[in-house]
A and B are shown apart, each in its own frame.
Chain A
């Protein structure tokens, strides 16, 4: 069975020297579905395994790297455009997630593919930021009125904004999690420790621990997990990159301060299981009290073993659809209290599909 072939390959890349062509076929398909082809290419290079890739397979990896390299250049340039658009506002502009890894030139930027650029700005400046971005050519994407209201009223970000000419999409955040979430880390604390990027004036990134905590939080609060495994490999690379002697105690302390210990617990648990990420035993032990009860944990293991797998038919078993639905509902449940969640899921399940079916006629 090759359901976990991509994950096994990321964990023990040397195994590829013994792969059959059938395994290569499955590996490339799983990696493409997970958005990890280019990252796999970097992985093989780091482990000096490029020559172990059969000639007929090589182009898939090389082509994906070409695309990822181009995106990396484009993201840097796009960040500078955003900075220029906001320069007059004299505010702290923090790049988040993939854009931050690119700005900080982190190994987590290697082979990463992008759908959008995430930035963090102070909440009280949100209206000015939106106006300035609109003047520079970004505008709200086509959402239904319900979606727009939902974003503005409950979310920690503006509705996605797309550039008229370049079609690039920015997500403007004012916090890591919605106000309605059970935990919401104080954004002021994040800004206070943000690090300026040396060669990109006016742009900062979160402190290394905060970058990891944000990625973990995002992963375990995001409903659809289409990039679940990619995000997990991001955290893996960020953790392997961190080499300060007091890194782990600082990470634990910061998780406590930002109320994100549960997310960190889950991230480290699944990093250990999926990717064999080196984490000191003392850290696992220190987070033991952040774990949920035994039953919940067993259920979460069953859900995430499937929801974090690539969205490819070769990775599915009979429980995959249920697991993905469970991850979706759980994420929403964490983000909204019940009296908001039930009407929201009702709207998404019954009203949105109806409106979507109507729209072609209206257009």
Chain B
């Protein structure tokens, strides 16, 4: 059963009661919340995801976002994220309850799922080949990833690139795409059909909203992809679209430093990371125009074999 088949009333009751069992990529979640905006966010963004009865027996992550008790319920209301009783973050204003769930889920995966090398990067796929887009915040990585998946690329993840340590393949985790500040309007203008939820303002990252992942990406969330490119995007006002090769060694160092768990994996982290880089062409990518950027990626995808 898909989440969109649950009536809003059922969804709200289950969230406030035993919780909703939900599958995202390789992980099963049990989500509970007594805050209405969390149910709203789930209904708007997770419609295509599989849900099961709240009594489904096993869940990887038991998470909740709840209203703080006491005075805080009424006075400057707050939301608290909890991972099975553990609260890794300080409470946030209630308005940020849904983004808090998203950040909390990222935290669960990046601190627990060490069967993967987890790189802080967006990742998209076409014809079975994946482009990893690592980059510091503010470089336009999520914006580019959102535009790519609205142009026929498959969303594997907008934040967490999961490299399966056993196979070296990329495991999809196609959750909603996080958009910040100007990116929200940029993507609205890029594709008026794209669904973007209600923004939360004044978060630690500024204004944040989430874009619903394409239906096809969610349906294919169990289909891994071969890593093929590592591309560092950088949006620059007025820049012409330009793809420049960069050194594999340097790229490896960057990925290792920007992986959530590289140091936890010991020698195996090095093995998985170097095997990944060996299969990939690495580029710096500057752009200012999204349509041109998409065309450049299209060209890259069509010439995949030649540039190997």
Task: Indicate the member of B112, B263, B265, B268 with the most A CB atoms within 10 Å.
Answer: B112
Contacting pair A66 B114 (CB below 8 A) = yes
A63 near B58 with CB under 8 A, answer: no
Residue contact B265 to A21, C-beta cutoff 8 Å: no
**Other-chain contact of A60, B60, B264, B268 (Cβ < 8 Å):** B60
* Cross-chain contact A29 with B62 (CB below 8 angstroms): yes
Q: Given the known inter-chain contacts A32-B84, A312-B85, please indicate yes or no for A25 contacting B59, CB distance below 8 A.
A: yes
User: Interface majority SS on A: helix, strand, loop or mixed?
Assistant: helix
Query: Chain B residues with Cβ under 8 A from A33's Cβ?
Result: 84-86
Q: Number of B residues contacting the other chain (C-beta, 8 Å)?
A: 18
| Contact in complex: B264, A59 (CB < 8 Å) | no
The total of Cβ contacts below 8 Å across the A-B interface reads 47
Distance of A22 from chain B, by nearest CB (Å) = 4
Interface size of A as a range: 20 to 34
Main secondary structure of the interface of B (DSSP, over half): loop
| Proximity string of chain A (156-192) to chain B, C-beta cutoff 8 Å, 1 when within and 0 when not | 0000000000000000000000000000000000000
- Whether A286 is near chain B, meaning CB under 8 Å from some CB there, is no
Does B253 touch A at the CB level, under 8 Å? no
- Shortest A201–chain B CB gap in Å is 24
Given contacts A70-B263, A70-B266, contact A62 B115 (CB under 8 A): yes
Near B by CB (< 8 A), chain A positions 24-52 give: 24-25, 29, 32-33
Asked if residues A70 and B60 are in contact (CB atoms below 8 Å), the reply is no
Residues of B within 8 A of A54 (CB): 58
* B62, B85, B268 pick with most chain A CB within 10 angstroms: B85
- Interface of chain B residues 237 through 273 with chain A (CB within 8 A): 263-266, 268
B57 on the A face (CB < 8 A): yes
A78 at the interface (CB under 8 A from B): no
Does A57 interact with chain B (Cβ within 8 Å)? Answer: yes
- Determine which of B57, B86, B112 lies in contact with A63 in the assembled complex, contact meaning CB atoms within 8 Å: B112
Q: How far is the CB of A54 from chain B (nearest CB, A)?
A: 8
Chain B 49-60: CB-based contact to A (< 8 A → 1; otherwise 0): 000000001111
B residues near A (Cβ < 8 Å) are 28, 57-60, 62, 84-86, 112-115, 263-266, 268
